[in-house]
Amino acid sequence: MRLWALLTGAIMLAAVVLTGCADFSAQDRDRAAGDFSANNDAPQNQQQTPTPEPSTPENQGPPPTGPCVDPDPQVIATCLASTGGLMPGDDQATTTVVAERTTGKLITAKRYGPQRAIASFDVDGSGDGGLVDFALSPTYSQDRLIYALITTPSDNRVVRIAPGDVAKPILTGIPKGATGNMGALYFRSPTELLVATGDAGDPSAAANPASLAGKLLSVTSFGSGANPPPKVVASGFGSNVALCHNDTGALYVADRTSTEDRLQIVESAGPKVLWTWPDKPDVAGCAVSSGQIFVTTTRTQQILALTEPTREKPTITPPAVVLEKRYGALGRIVSSASGAMLFATVNKASGKPVATDDRVVRFIPPASSENRT
């Protein structure tokens, strides 16, 4: 209860102090923007990242009514702008933190509960850019730092924001295009942030070692001044690049190319293709739970399940459709500690929106039929 009260208080404070937009022109004029609030750049021990939760309504009466109330009990957030990244707000995935890609707002929500903006970024939401993804600091309960991958009028970049501060650049100069701006963030350790970038509509840039497009980058310097170039972990990625991982550290990448959609695993020798979709269903996100990789698609409006490869069985079986054409065009998907999942719709950008779109939906994945013992 004390932790829940702390997180709720942090959200209420953040909603007050983070509603202003970042002035990126001022940042670019003065890269020495000053120290970050509550820096904690190099924590010594990785801690479980707390997740901010919306407050619980005091009165538990009948369900509310109105245009943004979805009758589907699995829908936990409604009437969002087109979405980017998301995360569970609790272990059971009954609450969420979701990026409104086109508005630059980071929203917390729960079913029938209030929606609050805990951060707001000045973004260029045209094409597939905007507030693309976000990650909470590994020590969020102490420093309240939020990292974000955003599109500006001049580039894609990674920034971070602290309560009462403006967003400050960590990594700039990621190429921007009319398409191919979607990427992902993932803290692999307390001192390493992985940044997956799209090809910005230029497949040749993904293979160009001088370009930050179409890459998996390792960022270990988080200052607001001139940081050293990030290390390139892998390259050759297309558009709409999504990351997902399991509990043992295996890292998967889903993306789209001009000829096919793909699911890959990042190995020490580089990315290895696990599955391709020549029919290009518009793969949008991936998540791992209980030995299965779940992939969302935008055009075919599906969730597909693939059994994770193992040393004993490195070849995965064909994907099985576990949800189809129930919520429209699907975007990112994430798993929670309990195994429940959340996915977001992108109907306002790529589908036929209904009155409650865009939405975040809770999903209980089916058990794998594969015997992995």
- The boundaries of the domain holding residue 342 are 75-363
Residue 79 located in a structural domain: yes
- On whether residue 34 sits in a domain, the answer given is no
pLDDT of residue 311: 86
The pLDDT value given to residue 46: 40
Residue 51 maps to a domain: no
Domain total for the chain? 1
Q: According to the model, what pLDDT value does residue 227 have?
A: 84
Do 195 and 217 touch, CB atoms closer than 8 A?
A: yes
pTM for the whole structure: 0.86
Amino acid of residue 207: A
The backbone torsions φ and ψ at residue 2, rounded to the nearest 5 degrees and listed phi first, read -65, -40
Give the integer Cα–Cα distance in Å for 91 and 104: 26
Position 185 in a domain: yes
Cβ atoms of 199 and 213 within 8 Å: the answer is: yes
Q: What is the pLDDT of residues 316-361, one digit of tens each?
A: 889 999 999 999 999 999 999 999 999 999 999 999 999 999 999 9
Does residue 370 sit within a domain?
A: no
The answer to whether position 58 is within a domain reads no
221 found inside a domain: yes
Residue 329, C-beta contacts closer than 8 angstroms, at least 6 positions apart: 298, 299, 301, 345, 346, 347, 349, 350, 351
Residue 50 confidence (pLDDT): 55
Type of residue found at 241: V
Query: Residue 82's pLDDT is what?
Result: 98
CATH number at residue 82: 2.120.10.30
**Separation CA 295–CA 271 (nearest Å):** 17
- Report pLDDT for 32: 39
Sheet hosting strand 131-136, strand order edge to edge: 131-136, 146-151, 156-161, 168-174
Domain annotation covers residue 340:
yes
Backbone angles phi, psi at 151, to 5 degrees: -105, 130
Within the chain, which residues score under 70 in pLDDT? Answer: 1-62, 369-373
- Residues paired with 185 in a beta bridge: 195
Q: Minimal CA–CA distance to 285: which of 263, 265, 269?
A: 263
